[in-house]
């Protein structure tokens, strides 16, 4: 069985920033296989690099302002950048830290970005974000229904 980590991050108190954790809640209720592990947090931290160890596939889920579609699905690669605090930690930097610490390539990592519009503190999910979340839920069912690298690459190509 494939060992898959799904990591959703965002803040439930900041409107559409809740999309990552809300998709994680959906996965917890609707997807179950023995190789699935789920993590949620407010933000990426350097320690999350070690969560990649021993995984066959990793899916990160986050709200995205720059997303011009309801969701986007892309593959990630390690890249050193100028992020130096946990508040500025990028996904590619987390992968780079993994590579530096473990001395090997990280497992195949992907990002599911869900289009977000409103990040105001104390607001609810916008109506558009709620619709986008529903579409992302259907997409993640396809991903986790067949958690194999070949399937994820095929689905990524269809999203382009």
Query: What pTM does this model have?
Result: 0.93
Q: pLDDT tens for residues 14-71?
A: 999 999 999 999 999 999 888 999 999 988 888 899 999 999 999 999 999 888 899 9
Tell me the three state secondary structure of residue 7: strand
122 vs 134, higher pLDDT: 134
57 vs 122, higher pLDDT: 57
DSSP string for residues in 59-120: EEEEEESS-SSSEEEEEE-----S--SGGG--HHHHHHHHHHHHSSPPPPEEEEEEE-----
pLDDT at 82 over 80: no
Phi/psi zone of residue 129: left (φ > 0), alpha (ψ -120 to 50 degrees), beta?
alpha
């Amino acid at each position: 069985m494939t060992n898959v980590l799904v990591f959703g991050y965002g803040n439930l108190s900041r409107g559409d920033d809740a999309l990552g954790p809300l998709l994680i809640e959906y996965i917890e209720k609707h997807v179950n296989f023995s190789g699935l592990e789920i993590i949620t947090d407010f933000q990426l931290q350097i320690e999350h690099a070690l969560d990649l160890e021993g995984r066959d596939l990793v899916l990160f889920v986050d709200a995205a302002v720059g997303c011009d579609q309801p969701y986007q699905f892309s593959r990630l690669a390690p890249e050193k950048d100028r992020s130096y605090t946990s508040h500025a930690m990028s996904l590619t930097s987390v992968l780079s830290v993994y590579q530096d610490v473990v001395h090997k390539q990280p497992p195949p990592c992907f990002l599911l970005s869900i289009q977000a519009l409103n990040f105001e503190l104390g607001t609810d999910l916008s109506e558009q974000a709620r619709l986008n979340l529903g579409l992302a839920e259907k997409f993640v069912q396809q991903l986790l229904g067949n958690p194999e690298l070949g399937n994820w690459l095929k689905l990524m190509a269809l999203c382009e």
